[in-house]
Structure 1
Amino acid sequence: MDTAVDLTARNFPSAEEEAQVSVPPPLYDGPESSYRLAFTDTEFLLQPELRPVRMQLELLKPEMVQQAQGVRSTVVIFGSARIPPREVAESRLADARAAADEAAVRRAETQLSMSRFYEEARRFAALVTERSRRMARPIYVCTGGGPGIMEAGNRGAHETGGKSIGLNIVLPHEQQPNAYITPELCFRFHYFALRKMHFLMRSVALVAFPGGFGTLDELFEAMTLMQTGKCRRRPILMFGREFWTRLINFELLIETGMISAGDEKLFRFVETAEEAWSVLAEDYGLDDDEVGNDGDPAGL
């Protein structure tokens, strides 16, 4: 009996099928041979001339995976990799005091003071994950995937039973992804520029905790894009007014005309996880009586 032909059957083999069956004949299986399929030839793909292709792949892979995972809205958490959890900071301080090392004690005391930001990032990520869970489009926490504040963000989401994203970057001194990222949403980048693009592509808010050059780079690129109208404005929340106003003299920028009056309204200072969530809730109408029938607030 004849079997009906599937109308949706492929007309050509897939690239995956071709790669699986493509075995070079003995004469052409050596390292000098060019017989390999181009898309299975790693040496070829890593040549300098193939940079545009590699950049496209780095754009597409996280995009396609997040689409498949249903990730449409994110809150991005920036911050230092050097801020430890409170228990680690307390242990370091105890060790420094036991060693009677005054310089180490001062450093450890500073770390302990800064560790409050780790705890706030952890609590904020938990709040975002828990309170957006019932929405048709949940808001997922996204970080740079490393230690410190990044770990705190992924940890808060993980401890609340939610997914979170980590956008890791290859560095000269290898940085391992923290243990709290959802494995299928843990990505690794070669290009800083494409990593920063992915920070912004799905973000409904950007949250900056104290940090160094990397945090400043990410923060000011986002501000510049919003200031110049290259991307839509969204809440930028900066945890720790005292830290940020000591680090950056925003008033001087206005007084000298380096930024326009009103540009300082691109961001807001917050101190606690609850305060940060209340800003998002107000801006996006996330209160119970303002969520639509499908559980999805307008604009998300």
Structure 2
Amino acid sequence: MSDSPRIPPKGFPSAEEDARAAAMGPRTPQTLSPSYRLAYMDPDFLQREELRPVRLQLELLKPELVQHEHGIEHTVVIFGSTRIPEAAEARRLAAAAEAAAEANPDDPELVRRAAVARRILQKSRYYDEARRLSALIARECRRKTGCDLVVITGGGPGIMEAANRGAAEEGAKTAGFNIVLPFEQQPNAYVTPELSFQFHYFAIRKMHFLLRARALVVFPGGFGTLDELFETLTLVQTGKVRQVPILLFGREFWERVVDFEGLCDEGTISPGDLDLFEYVETAEEAWARIQDFYRENGGLDPAPRC
């Protein structure tokens, strides 16, 4: 055994150690001045307009490091509307809207709301499909060697809740990328707490969705869902990200709200761009398409680093 002294692991105190030391100092007019705060412990300084580049970098780095520490290399990203609840809730809302419209048949807004509620009820099956798909992914990856796919969503209600729920009910970890909004927004109860993230910047959030994505599944949704879908299609079309399965749930919905064929006929996209995505109707069909893609393309490869 060597008698040489143990070499300390580092020569400088850590940021945490310095922060503790700073907090123990005397309270004087000088030490209480905002200018005296350690820069990394000064929220007023970090929130200054000039610090935007630093905040962008931090928001990119924090989720990257946490996911790496939890061994997340490959994800299936599930997008979809916050406004599509499970069937029981959709039936309750539809019944209430119908009753209001029947009591006030001359009110066009109430009549419209009842019609919308009926259509949401029809789409509530997608809540079940998202839940079943994520449960299927979690279950299959648990028993298959080399399958480490983690379901990730925007962390909110509706379809996102369903997807996180299915994975959580199978005992799998599942991530949620929430975002600060002007109205109340909080992560759903099924996101793994250690993988529940909050973003300020939409752009950084969308980058994190794609960094580890090995498949994207897009359920019916509104502006946010369309934004996420079209950004992904653009990045794949232009070769900025690698080809991955992009699956659109519900052909009837998508062909009604987006005329992809019309874009092709107008010459604003190429016929080959229609092959960037596929329509699916069930969880089993979606999972089969994902497996087929990676069987034909040599399996999952390592996730890129920031």
Superposed, 1:97-108 pairs within 5 Å as 97-99=98-100, 100-101=102-103, 103=111, 104-108=113-117
Residue type of the alignment partner of 2:203 = A
Give the match for residue 215 of structure 1.
225
Task: List per-residue Cα deviations over 1:59-78 (Å, max 9, x = no partner).
Answer: 01100000001111000001
Separation in 2 of the partners of 1:298 and 1:194?
Answer: 24
Task: List per-residue Cα deviations over 1:2-37 (Å, max 9, x = no partner).
Answer: 98533352111111111111134322233x441111
Task: Tell me which of 257, 265, 268 is aligned to 2:275.
Answer: 265
Give the match for residue 29 of structure 1.
31
Kindly indicate whether residue 301 of structure 2 is the aligned counterpart of residue 299 of structure 1: yes
Identical columns (%): 56
Give the match for residue 154 of structure 2.
144
Give the match for residue 130 of structure 1.
139
Q: Secondary structure at the match of 1:133?
A: helix
Between the two proteins, the alignment pairs up a number of residues equal to: 290
Separation in 2 of the partners of 1:224 and 1:33?
Answer: 45
Task: List per-residue Cα deviations over 1:247-292 (Å, max 9, x = no partner).
Answer: 1111111111100110000000000000000001111129xxx99x
Give the match for residue 19 of structure 1.
19
Separation in 2 of the partners of 1:230 and 1:85?
Answer: 36
Kindly indicate whether residue 194 of structure 2 is the aligned counterpart of residue 192 of structure 1: no
Extract unaligned runs of 5+ from structure 2.
106-110
2:214·2:300 contact (CA, 8 Å) conserved in 1? no
Give the match for residue 75 of structure 1.
76
Task: List per-residue Cα deviations over 1:163-188 (Å, max 9, x = no partner).
Answer: 10000000000211100000000000
1:170·1:189 contact (CA, 8 Å) conserved in 2? yes
Task: Tell me which of 115, 121, 125 is aligned to 2:124.
Answer: 115
Separation in 2 of the partners of 1:233 and 1:146?
Answer: 27
Extract unaligned runs of 5+ from structure 1.
292-296
TM-score, normalised via structure 1 length: 0.91
Give the match for residue 46 of structure 2.
45
TM-score, normalised via structure 2 length: 0.90
Residue type of the alignment partner of 1:29 = T
